[in-house]
Amino acid sequence: MFDFGIIPPAMFLGMIIFMLYGFPVAFSLAAVGLFFAIIGIVTGHFGEVFLQALPLRFFGILSNDLLLAIPFFTFMGAVLERCGLAEDLLEGTGKLFGGIPGGLAYAVILVGAVLGAITGTVAASVITMGMISLPIMLRYGYNPRLATGVIAASGTITQVIPPSLVLVVLADQLGRSVGDMYLGAIGPSILQVTIFVLFILVMSIIRPKSMPPLPKEVRGDFNWALLVKVLMGMVPSIVLIFLVLGTIFMGLATPTEAGALGVVGAIVLAAMNRRLTWPLIREAMASTTHITSMVVMILIGSTCFSLVFQGMDGSRWIEHMLSGIPGGPVGFLIFVNIFIFVLAFFLDFFEIAFIVIPMLAPVASSLGIDLIWFGVLICVNMQTSFMHPPFGFALFYLRSIASKDVKTSDIYMGALPWVGMQLILVAIVIFWPQSVTYWLDHGPKVDPNSIKIEVPGFGGQLGLPPMGGGGNGSPQIPGLTLPPLNGLPGAPPPPAK
């Protein structure tokens, strides 16, 4: 562990102590980095000139066009969160599926997936669905643990479904295309929704009394008017999703440009719903500014920490430790996912992405692991950070809006089966990488042994006349004949006649 000295593990331990003490993450990272930078200079690990890279790195962060996608997608989600779209979707789909056991749970999962694709915010999804669906589910006989669990889990789907902010950040940290990261996340997103739906289906068969259908007087008649209402709420959202993702996948727009296009689409949807007001825009701008500032400050602090950590041979220390894990790439992925699952109890996904991923990515690359697969796998794992008790943020959001009749223990116990299903998806992605890589365009397959390079020759033997030529009928190139050597110093004597 100490093959590269005591300082790299000391830096890592110092970072953990600062965070556990409660200091803001961005300032903790910067403070630890600068403190150990002084130690590095004193101990001779590097000179003062090494720190001249910091201003250049800060400028690189602030001038990174890819990170501009974060405020655009955040603003788009904030507008859609406040324009009442979720309420319309939940009301329509709830009535559409309400006549079957578990119908409201199916509606929550479906709407959670749609909201995840258009808002990308766990807090917005959980709070909105909790305020609307939870009272109705409890009123008509749903088990409290089942009701709170499905709402919290459906809200966390936003982490995996494109256009997720987590995928944008991971693409930046891994040096990969956001479009490829989005394509890789399609398979796990479909699998996650499928696993959730199958769980509700099985539970509705085994324990139908825990999720009874809605009474007919509540759900109304199943007719064309209801279908039209559901479609009017669903189609504009789906059009916006394809507008944002389609332009990225087809190469018509960068993620930043697609995010700007999504903002315009969100404002249009809010205007169509007659809910576009100045307070709505002002609140969305304030939320976007807060999140973007937090991300940039964490990124600056993590950059300060990572530069000094590399100067102390920290990256070589991490690679040395993790490369020797038994089991090869699969063993490495299992260890990393257990490690991140534990870290997610204490750290937010932004902090994990900016602090831990830059340390793990070089090791993954050296083991031949596709970084798109690696990034999507980490994203799937990090969604559990919102669900596992007692620190899951989705559980906190749900507790804040649930009535006093709902026990906190029910919320925590209700989350456990859904955490298990999320971990099942982690295992599927580890042992079935095609669930991610199948959607990627790897380009044409070329066998290097079949490549033949033919270079046109030069000189007399390779197709060109000799420069001096003239003999044996060969043509002579004008201006390239050599002068006679006779009489020059060191020239050989002329042949005897």
**What is the tens place of the pLDDT at every residue in 153-170?**
888 887 888 877 788 888
Q: Is residue 370, in this structure, part of any structural domain at all?
A: yes
Angle between helix axes 178-206 and 224-249 (nearest 10 degrees) is 150
The least confident of 317-321, 404-408, 413-417, 431-435 is 317-321
Q: Which residues contact 377 (CB under 8 A, 6 or more apart)?
A: 333, 337, 426, 429, 430, 436
Q: Is residue 391, in this structure, part of any structural domain at all?
A: yes
* Residue 485 three-state SS: coil
Residue 495 — very low, low, confident or very high, per pLDDT cuts 50/70/90?
low
Distances in Å between the Cα of 144 and the Cα atoms of 135, 162, 397 are 10, 30, 16
Q: Is residue 52, in this structure, part of any structural domain at all?
A: no
- What is the helix (H) or strand (E) element at residue 172, kind and residue range? helix 165-174
Query: Domain residues for 150?
Result: 66-437
Q: How many domains does the chain divide into? A: 1
Q: Is the dihedral of CA 34, 37, 41, 43 positive or negative?
A: positive
| DSSP one-letter code for 482 | P
Q: Is residue 10, in this structure, part of any structural domain at all?
A: no
As a whole number of angstroms, the distance between CA 431 and CA 442 comes to 20
Which pLDDT score, from 0 to 100, does residue 195 have?
94
**Which of 240, 248, 218 shows the shortest CA–CA distance to 95?**
218
As a whole number of angstroms, the distance between CA 127 and CA 223 comes to 30
Distances in Å between the Cα of 375 and the Cα atoms of 243, 294, 306 are 24, 22, 19
Percent helix, strand and coil across the chain, each rounded to 5?
70, 0, 30
Q: Which residues contact 168 (CB under 8 A, 6 or more apart)?
A: 66, 67, 69, 70, 73, 178, 181, 255
Which pLDDT score, from 0 to 100, does residue 483 have?
56
Q: Is residue 214, in this structure, part of any structural domain at all?
A: yes
Higher-confidence residue: 71 or 319?
Answer: 71
The mean pLDDT of 304-326, rounded to a whole number, is: 79
364 near 332, Cβ under 8 Å?
Answer: yes
Distances in Å between the Cα of 443 and the Cα atoms of 432, 440, 446 are 21, 9, 9
The least confident of 44-48, 88-92, 364-368 is 88-92
Residue that the structure tokens 């620190």 belong to: 391
Q: Is 281 exposed, middle or buried (0-12, 13-18, 19+ CB in 10 A)?
A: middle
As a whole number of angstroms, the distance between CA 89 and CA 185 comes to 24
Q: Is residue 429, in this structure, part of any structural domain at all?
A: yes
Q: Which two tokens stand for residue 217?
A: 């007087």
**Which of 74, 127, 59 shows the shortest CA–CA distance to 293?**
74
3 near 319, Cβ under 8 Å?
Answer: no
Which pLDDT score, from 0 to 100, does residue 220 have?
64
Q: Is the pLDDT of residue 2 over 50?
A: no
- What is the helix (H) or strand (E) element at residue 11, kind and residue range? helix 7-21
Q: Which residues contact 220 (CB under 8 A, 6 or more apart)?
A: 95, 226
What percent of the chain stands above pLDDT 70?
A: 83
The least confident of 47-61, 210-224, 303-317 is 210-224
Q: Is residue 384, in this structure, part of any structural domain at all?
A: yes
Q: Is the pLDDT of residue 479 over 70?
A: no
Q: Is 5 exposed, middle or buried (0-12, 13-18, 19+ CB in 10 A)?
A: middle
369 near 323, Cβ under 8 Å?
Answer: no
375 near 361, Cβ under 8 Å?
Answer: no
The mean pLDDT of 57-69, rounded to a whole number, is: 80
Q: Is the pLDDT of residue 221 over 70?
A: no
As a whole number of angstroms, the distance between CA 11 and CA 24 comes to 17
Which pLDDT score, from 0 to 100, does residue 200 have?
92
Residue 484 — very low, low, confident or very high, per pLDDT cuts 50/70/90?
low
Q: Is residue 7, in this structure, part of any structural domain at all?
A: no
| DSSP one-letter code for 49 | G
Q: Is the pLDDT of residue 460 over 50?
A: no
For 250-265, write each residue's pLDDT tens digit. 878 888 888 888 889 8
